[in-house]
Structure 1
Amino acid sequence: MSAALPRSDCNDPNRAPVCPEASAPPRRRRAWVAIAVALLVSGFGSMDRLYADDLSPIMAGQIAASAQRIAGGVESTWRAGDSLLGPLLGRYGRLQLAREIGLLEQALGASRPAAEAWEAVADHARALGNTPRLIEALDRVVALALARGDYDSASTRAGELLKHARQAGLVRAQAAAEGYLGIVARRRGELEEARAHQETALALRRSQHDRSGEAQVLMNLGTVHRDLGDFARALELQIDALELRRSLGDSEKLDLSYRNIALLYREIEDTEQARRNFEAALDASRRHFDPQSMAGALGSYASFSNDLGDAAKALTMARQARAIDANIGNRPYVGLEDLEIGRALIRLDRDGEAAVALQEALTIGRELKHREITGGALLHLGRIALRAGDEALATQRLDEAISILAEAGLKPALSEAFGAREKIAVASGQLASAIEYAHRRAALREEMLGTRAGRQLAALKSRYERADADQRIRLLSLNNEVQSLRLNQQALLRNAGIGVAAALGLLLALLARRYRTTQQLNRALQQKNAEISAHEARLEAANAQLSTQAAELYQAAITDPLTGAYNRGHLLRQLDEHLRQALETGRDLSVLLIDFDHFKTINDEHGHLYGDRVLAGGIQIVRQWLEPGDLVGRYGGEEFIVVMPGRNAQEAATLAERLRAKVAQGLASLGEGRRSPTISIGLAGLRDCGAASLEDLLGAADVAVYRAKAEGRNRVVPYAA
């Protein structure tokens, strides 16, 4: 599971405030409502045991199950009571009764019965023309529809809520409707529309000085920016939402803010920050005694633990979250948690149990048309089949997973699926197919590396800008203190002048006092100036650290970590630029395509660590014998490219032969009784092959290296048209 899905909270500040009643019911109807609600609550036992100070995940699951049983009884009793007492209660009394039932069902976490009760409130309110109650009911219905994943219903009801709120001039209800429409748009992938709705909601909340609602909208807007790829802005908005909620006191729920911040740090691979915020989300859900919030935090933390390889911890958390969500009836999250359970069991080598959990996840994913669950379940079921030796079943499941994951844009899981398919192709002797999957996986991993480096730089920049802003605030505060001290000094001087004019006899005493005070103020001023200098020094150090980290990130993004040569993306960009210049100026350009001979056999016979030593040692020798201005980079697997600007084919052939001989001589010492590694080199000169594009030039070099291998390997072969 690449990211935990956001869970709707029916008690969220984004919900419109409860509207005042349009008019009070007659006394007789109020009495009947009180009697009916008393009858509903009676018989279900004491609720005190649900409010324990120490809420554990296991206790949360038991509480959720108990609450669902109580909710079912409440619903049955309400249906019977509404039928029996309806004529006595009248339309308004039935509205009040349905409203109390809706609040009770929501408190018990029963979303379906609660939604039916609030739909009844909306129907009664329409019949009575009671706009405040209609707006309240629509607000609740939308929140519950979002919790169930019923986005069509949520969109329709949110539009109706917005229309009635505008007609009634209720700004907070308009803000709630805009926020809901933004959530629906984001979950449908309409991100620009989602951002527009959330920004409108934010302006409305601020116009009403609704700080709690503003915090909720900031959090939702941050999630939209995360999906847009603007991680710096997303992190800034989520931190602003968290700080605003903290300032509002203990009544505010902080778990979802912590969880969203943790997910952002997880995306940029800041493990320590992600772990710290996941644990803060769990603590916050325990403090507010909210099983549904706890399930969300546990499920997200389980996915994060699986990513880190802590399978035992992931399994425990995923099972705890599943117990809660299963009792609440939250099927999408049950499916996601089954997926994490399967991932953990595979890592623990318990494939039989993993297959059961993943099959359940697959069933839920297909029913809900949930691509993340379906694709992930198929991927891991394919891995289990591959480990069991059933290549046909593994191929079928992995091919379906690749189609779904590619459509959903879930790149980490897609990369894993490509790797599994490559293994199947190699095992079945389909080398062309294996090479294709290897190249697709390498390209995807390179794309993810570039994206991740950009996100890390953006997050680092965001942190620096926030630290810089805090530093400026502190400096301004220090400057204000200095100004205040100077004003005090001036006031003392004026007082001294007045004292001199009033009584010459007090002159010496006043001068002495002024002198002492001035000395104290000067010392204080010197201390403040020293503090300012220290702050400026720390700021300069932070700037230097930022520059160093940015340079390191850039170098990591363009370099192959094994050999130290340029990676494929940077190499091809440099080659394309040299080719363009050569075509414009008429200069020659030569390219060597180097392939390590029998490399797969070397890996199979001596292991991948020895194969890595061969590649690293061979390329180190190549780099030593290159001329200034030449480039070397990893093209893919055991293939490397040397770019020689301004060198014709004859000159390049001389250097290529020298490289071949030096590599064979240098790698012979690695053999120690094993096969001595050698290289084959294909040479392509721009003028000789008549290439007009990068693809033509590389194609010519590729043809030449295949000829070198066909002629016996360990040789240099130039391209011949």
Structure 2
Amino acid sequence: MPSYHRSAKHGPRPLTALVLAALVSGFGLVDGLYADDLTPSSAGKLAASAQTVAQAIDSAWETTDNLVAPLIGPRGRMLYAEAVGELQQALGAPRQSAIAWKRVAAFAERLGDAGAMILALDEATALALVQGDYDAANAHAGLLLDRARATGDVAAQAAAEGYLGVFARRRGQLESARAHQETALSLRRALRDRSGEAQVLMNLGTVHRDLGDYARALELQLDALDLRKTLGGAERLDLSYRNIALLYREIEDTEQAKTNFKAALAASMARHDPQSLAAALGSYASFSNDIGDAESALAMARQALAIDASLGNRPYIGLEQVEIARALIKLGRDSEAIAPLEQALAIGRDLRHREIVGNALLYLGRLALRAGDEKTARERLDEAISVLTEAKLKAPLSEAYGAREEVAQARGELGSALAYAHRRNDLREELLGTRSGRQLAALKSRYERAEADQRIRLLSLDNEVQSLRLREQALLRNIGIGVGLGLAALLVVLFNRYRTSRRLNRELERKNAEISAQESVLQNVNAKLSTQAAELYQAAITDPLTGAYNRGHLMRQLDEQMRHALRDGRDLALLMIDFDHFKRINDEHGHQFGDRVLASGVQIMRQWLEPGDMLGRYGGEEFIAVLPGRDDAQAHAIAERLRDKVEFALTPLTGAPRPLTISIGLASLKRSGETTLEGLLSAADAAVYRAKADGRNRVVPYAA
């Protein structure tokens, strides 16, 4: 969540400090905020109280200003408006504060006060971002940059570049965002502004996350956290912890994500800042929904909403309404989820916030589908797919494809259902590969940092060893000087130098041993990195549920096997395997049982395939077996064996007379005459559809 920016040259006024102290004392009992018996209204109590004070100040402002205007003049009125703006910010009232800073800008323009104008534009930009008014934020930031350049105010230039970077990222203009943030970083470093540098590092890390460079993103966020820890004081540790938690959430490192979310909550409570706490609670709620902890997600999202509703923070209100609805849906409370989704959709459309709009439409479509309203479900989901595609939000887009497939099946549009199933599977495969890449990148980043620390330690030890050697050489040179002092004195010096040399040699041996130990640690780190990289690669090519190859790896291997077969004039057969009535199995016995059926069926098929054959998951309940060097007759015998063994082993699982079976479509290169991967897949697909149309539980070869 954007923080209110203050230039270093402007300190808090006494009145602002007094109100802040009062607020902090009222917020001191926040340790119990995230508690099971806490109501959502309690979470927003402080923010609501602050809003009441802010409205009272706003109501009294006009009268007070008119009374004192003749006494203090335009400059005094400008300073008064500035104090009111600061006070409203301290109260967490962005709308009222923005009005005050608008007056400051008007007075500054009339008085020709460039410094006051820059301050007013700076504050107005930050407040517009908080309220989700991105067009106004962009306009203010552009004016701020122009004024800063004209006056040579480097700090204001850095602030403007940072704001423009935040705006560009929220509009999806990632390369522009990176350029602005890198310029801001250079300016902050030139000013030796360490606090500002930490903020820019964090923003730049977020841009790199959106660009998919997770190693660099994690490195930047950790650098920002380290820098903030060294600065101490009022540094925004909560923001750094929250961004690091979000990165670990993206790569599905649940434990690291939880640790950093908890640290973000603790840091927010320590700051006594409702806005910061709402951001941490909202993000933690979204993560809790992702990992299936709907009760905690609902409690935290409602607490965050209570605070943000009091603050008037509309973008976060919309996001929190979506998380509340997600939790309610997971808890089976569908009717309660509709209202927050409708409210989120209205906010998202008003702000042109594609993430809010896309997710609200997705879950409204799912609710309509569950209620049997297929027409509304299709309309909602089609719009969701359009918005999510434009926003490049792949995870919810994959879910939208799955829901749209269900709508098509319910309407009997099997061709359309198949198309959406393939889209969903392609995107899930891409996400799996992307996630594995992110995990590897994060792992690489962590170990590169560890390796760098080890190398720094080794260099330090090398320097110590070199220093000892130089001292030893100096001592040996001094021995020669003592020759002229006489034999007796020489013996004394030699004896002393000998003892010192022995001591230095022992210390040198100890340092060398320490270097060897550090090198051993470094080797162990590298070995662990190699092992984990291999594990990640295996995870990247395997379907986690069944243990079969995933679609991406299967398609790459099939393409390679086809090219070899066509080049060498050999045959190759492909079996398209579909578990019969799988939707009915899920509906009657539950999804966990359905998962068990798939996993058991794959295990059986792998046992009865021959060496050199491959089995992979094509999507949903569809699998492909690749049989290199087999013609139609040989492949047909293998397929019949698989069909028979699967039926024999799976049917007892239900405890009912209805058998659990598979249908298999068979296509070979020579029989089908196909020479492309797409052609062979289409032939096998047509064969398995014929097998299902002919009554299922059978093997059907492709017939041109």
* 1:59 CA drift (Å): 7.0
Letter matched to residue 145 of structure 1: A
Who is 2:4 aligned against?
10
Distance in 2 between residues matched to 1:60 and 1:609, nearest whole Å: 37
1:49 partnered with 2:43 = no
Alignment size in residue pairs:
693
Out of 200, 203, 211, the position equivalent to 2:194 is 211
* 1:237 CA drift (Å): 0.9
Q: Is the alpha carbon distance of 1:464 and 1:487 closer, same or farther for their aligned partners in structure 2, counting shifts above 3 Å?
A: same
SS of residue in 1 equivalent to 2:103: helix
Letter matched to residue 531 of structure 1: E
* 1:622 CA drift (Å): 4.0
Letter matched to residue 257 of structure 1: S
Q: Is the alpha carbon distance of 1:197 and 1:596 closer, same or farther for their aligned partners in structure 2, counting shifts above 3 Å?
A: closer
Q: Which residues of 2 match residues 459-538 of structure 1 at below 5 A? A: 459-499=442-482, 501-502=484-485, 504-538=487-521
Out of 626, 643, 659, the position equivalent to 2:626 is 643
* 1:469 CA drift (Å): 0.7
CA contact (8 A) 1:17 1:136 kept: no
Distance in 1 between residues matched to 2:611 and 2:332, nearest whole Å: 52
Distance in 1 between residues matched to 2:304 and 2:649, nearest whole Å: 57
Q: Which residues of 2 match residues 310-349 of structure 1 at below 5 A? A: 310-349=293-332
* 1:145 CA drift (Å): 1.5
* 1:449 CA drift (Å): 1.1
SS of residue in 1 equivalent to 2:234: coil
1:633 partnered with 2:607 = no
Q: Is the alpha carbon distance of 1:647 and 1:247 closer, same or farther for their aligned partners in structure 2, counting shifts above 3 Å?
A: same
Q: Which residues of 2 match residues 652-663 of structure 1 at below 5 A? A: 652-657=635-640, 659-660=642-643
Q: Show CA shifts across 1:188-218 (max 9, x none).
A: 1111111111111111222222222211111
Distance in 1 between residues matched to 2:255 and 2:545, nearest whole Å: 26
* 1:507 CA drift (Å): 4.1
1:415 partnered with 2:398 = yes
SS of residue in 2 equivalent to 1:643: strand
Unaligned runs of 5+ in 2: 34-40
Who is 2:223 aligned against?
240
Who is 2:38 aligned against?
none
1:554 partnered with 2:537 = yes
Q: Is the alpha carbon distance of 1:360 and 1:658 closer, same or farther for their aligned partners in structure 2, counting shifts above 3 Å?
A: closer
Distance in 1 between residues matched to 2:660 and 2:166, nearest whole Å: 59
CA contact (8 A) 2:663 2:699 kept: yes
CA contact (8 A) 2:172 2:391 kept: no
**TM-score, length-normalised on structure 2?**
0.89
Q: Is the alpha carbon distance of 1:352 and 1:231 closer, same or farther for their aligned partners in structure 2, counting shifts above 3 Å?
A: same
Who is 1:134 aligned against?
117
1:696 partnered with 2:679 = yes
Q: Is the alpha carbon distance of 1:523 and 1:353 closer, same or farther for their aligned partners in structure 2, counting shifts above 3 Å?
A: same
Who is 1:96 aligned against?
79
SS of residue in 1 equivalent to 2:431: helix
Distance in 2 between residues matched to 1:713 and 1:357, nearest whole Å: 44
Who is 2:37 aligned against?
none
Q: CA RMSD in A?
A: 3.2
SS of residue in 1 equivalent to 2:28: coil
CA contact (8 A) 2:298 2:323 kept: yes
Which segment drifts farther, 136-145 or 603-612? 603-612
Unaligned runs of 5+ in 1: 1-6, 21-36
CA contact (8 A) 2:572 2:628 kept: yes
* 1:418 CA drift (Å): 3.8
Distance in 2 between residues matched to 1:675 and 1:65, nearest whole Å: 61
Q: Show CA shifts across 1:505-552 (max 9, x none).
A: 344443343333333323322222222222212221221221121112
Distance in 2 between residues matched to 1:669 and 1:356, nearest whole Å: 45
Q: Which residues of 2 match residues 69-218 of structure 1 at below 5 A? A: 69-218=52-201
CA contact (8 A) 1:680 1:715 kept: yes
Q: Which residues of 2 match residues 597-636 of structure 1 at below 5 A? A: 597=580, 599=582, 612=595, 615-636=598-619
Which segment drifts farther, 232-241 or 85-94? 85-94
Q: Is the alpha carbon distance of 1:109 and 1:503 closer, same or farther for their aligned partners in structure 2, counting shifts above 3 Å?
A: farther
Q: Which residues of 2 match residues 250-269 of structure 1 at below 5 A? A: 250-269=233-252
CA contact (8 A) 1:55 1:289 kept: no
Letter matched to residue 46 of structure 2: I
Letter matched to residue 28 of structure 2: D
Who is 1:569 aligned against?
552
Q: Is the alpha carbon distance of 1:486 and 1:71 closer, same or farther for their aligned partners in structure 2, counting shifts above 3 Å?
A: same
Who is 1:279 aligned against?
262
Q: Show CA shifts across 1:34-67 (max 9, x none).
A: xxx99xx79x997753222735147773332222
* 1:678 CA drift (Å): 4.7
Who is 1:29 aligned against?
none
Out of 68, 90, 96, the position equivalent to 2:51 is 68
Distance in 2 between residues matched to 1:227 and 1:499, nearest whole Å: 70
Q: Show CA shifts across 1:412-469 (max 9, x none).
A: 3333344444455555655555444443333332221111111001111111111111
Q: Show CA shifts across 1:353-386 (max 9, x none).
A: 4334333333333333333223333433444455
**TM-score, length-normalised on structure 1?**
0.87
Distance in 1 between residues matched to 2:102 and 2:340, nearest whole Å: 36
Q: Is the alpha carbon distance of 1:628 and 1:512 closer, same or farther for their aligned partners in structure 2, counting shifts above 3 Å?
A: same
Who is 2:36 aligned against?
none
CA contact (8 A) 1:19 1:133 kept: no
SS of residue in 2 equivalent to 1:51: helix
1:291 partnered with 2:265 = no
Q: Is the alpha carbon distance of 1:485 and 1:250 closer, same or farther for their aligned partners in structure 2, counting shifts above 3 Å?
A: same
* 1:83 CA drift (Å): 3.0
* 1:583 CA drift (Å): 4.0
SS of residue in 2 equivalent to 1:364: helix
SS of residue in 2 equivalent to 1:684: strand
Letter matched to residue 188 of structure 1: R
Letter matched to residue 83 of structure 1: N
Distance in 1 between residues matched to 2:435 and 2:242, nearest whole Å: 20
Q: Is the alpha carbon distance of 1:319 and 1:653 closer, same or farther for their aligned partners in structure 2, counting shifts above 3 Å?
A: closer
In percent, how many aligned pairs have the same letter? Answer: 66
Q: Show CA shifts across 1:225-278 (max 9, x none).
A: 111111111111111111112222223222111111111111111111111211
Letter matched to residue 683 of structure 1: L
Letter matched to residue 201 of structure 1: A
Distance in 1 between residues matched to 2:66 and 2:676, nearest whole Å: 80
CA contact (8 A) 1:222 1:237 kept: yes
Which segment drifts farther, 365-374 or 419-428? 419-428
Out of 681, 697, 713, the position equivalent to 2:664 is 681
* 1:113 CA drift (Å): 2.1
